[in-house]
Structure 1
Amino acid sequence: MDVLVRLLQLLVLLLTLPLHLMALLGCWQPLCKSWFPYLMAVLTEKSNRKMKTKKQELFAQIKGLKGASGEVALLELGCGTGANFQFYPPGCKVTCLDPNPHFEKFLAKSMAENRHLKYERFVVASGEDMRQLADSSMDVVVCTLVLCSVQSPKRVLQEVKRVLRPEGVFFFWEHVAEPRRSWAFRWQQVLEPTWKHIGDGCCLTRETWKALESAKFSELQMERQPPPFKWLPVGPHIMGKAVK
Structure 2
Amino acid sequence: MAMLMRFCVLLVNVLCLPLYLLEAIGLNKFYKRAFPFCLHRLSESYNKKMREKKKDLFRSIPEFRNPAGHLRILEIGCGTGTNFEFYPAGCKVTCTDPNPHFQKFLQKSMANSSHLTFDSFVVAAGEDLGSIEDNSVDVVVCTLVLCSVDSAKQTLLEVQRILRPGGAFFFMEHVLGDASSWIYFFQHVLQPVFYFVGDGCDLTRTTWKELEAAGFSDLKLRHLDAPLYFIIRPHISGYAVK
TM range (shorter): over 0.9
Q: Is the 8 A contact 1:204 1:235 kept in 2?
A: no
- Helix, strand or coil at the partner of 2:66: coil
Q: Is the 8 A contact 1:75 1:95 kept in 2?
A: yes
Q: Is the 8 A contact 1:73 1:92 kept in 2?
A: yes
Task: Return the offset for 1:15.
Answer: 4.1
User: In structure 2, what is the Cα distance between the partners aligned to 1:200 and 1:149?
Assistant: 7
Q: Give the partner amino acid of 2:22.
A: M
Q: Is the 8 A contact 1:141 1:160 kept in 2?
A: yes
What do the CA deviations read for 1:75-125 (whole angstroms, capped 9, x no partner)? 001100000000101011000011000011111000000000000000001
Other-structure match for 1:127? 126
What do the CA deviations read for 1:23-58 (whole angstroms, capped 9, x no partner)? 233212x12211111111111111111111121122
Is 1:8 paired with 2:8? Answer: yes
User: In structure 1, what is the Cα distance between the partners aligned to 2:6 and 2:60?
Assistant: 45
Task: Return the offset for 1:134.
Answer: 0.3
Is 1:239 paired with 2:233? Answer: no
Task: Return the offset for 1:68.
Answer: 4.0
With 3-12 and 46-55 compared, the bigger mean Cα shift is at 3-12
Counterparts of residues 51-90 of structure 1 (less than 5 Å) = 51-90=50-89
Other-structure match for 2:35? 36
Task: Return the offset for 1:226.
Answer: 1.4
Task: Return the offset for 1:229.
Answer: 1.8
User: In structure 2, what is the Cα distance between the partners aligned to 1:93 and 1:74?
Assistant: 6
Q: Is the 8 A contact 1:20 1:194 kept in 2?
A: no
With 114-123 and 62-71 compared, the bigger mean Cα shift is at 62-71
TM-score, normalised via structure 1 length: 0.94
Task: Return the offset for 1:69.
Answer: 4.1
Other-structure match for 2:105? 106
Q: Is the 8 A contact 1:192 1:204 kept in 2?
A: yes
- Helix, strand or coil at the partner of 1:139: strand
With 219-228 and 164-173 compared, the bigger mean Cα shift is at 219-228
| Long gaps (5+) in structure 2 | none
Change (3 A) 1:216 1:205: same
Other-structure match for 1:188? 187
- Helix, strand or coil at the partner of 2:95: strand
User: In structure 2, what is the Cα distance between the partners aligned to 1:56 and 1:132?
Assistant: 30
User: In structure 1, what is the Cα distance between the partners aligned to 2:110 and 2:222?
Assistant: 30
Matched-pair identity in %:
52
User: In structure 2, what is the Cα distance between the partners aligned to 1:82 and 1:100?
Assistant: 13
What do the CA deviations read for 1:59-82 (whole angstroms, capped 9, x no partner)? 121123222443211000110000
Q: Give the partner amino acid of 1:236.
A: P
TM-score, normalised via structure 2 length: 0.95
Q: Give the partner amino acid of 2:165.
A: P
| Long gaps (5+) in structure 1 | none
User: In structure 1, what is the Cα distance between the partners aligned to 2:144 and 2:227?
Assistant: 12
Question: What is the CA RMSD across the aligned residues, in angstroms?
Answer: 1.6
Task: Return the offset for 1:14.
Answer: 4.4
Q: Is the 8 A contact 2:227 2:233 kept in 1?
A: no
- Helix, strand or coil at the partner of 1:191: helix
User: In structure 1, what is the Cα distance between the partners aligned to 2:103 and 2:16?
Assistant: 30
Q: Is the 8 A contact 2:159 2:169 kept in 1?
A: yes
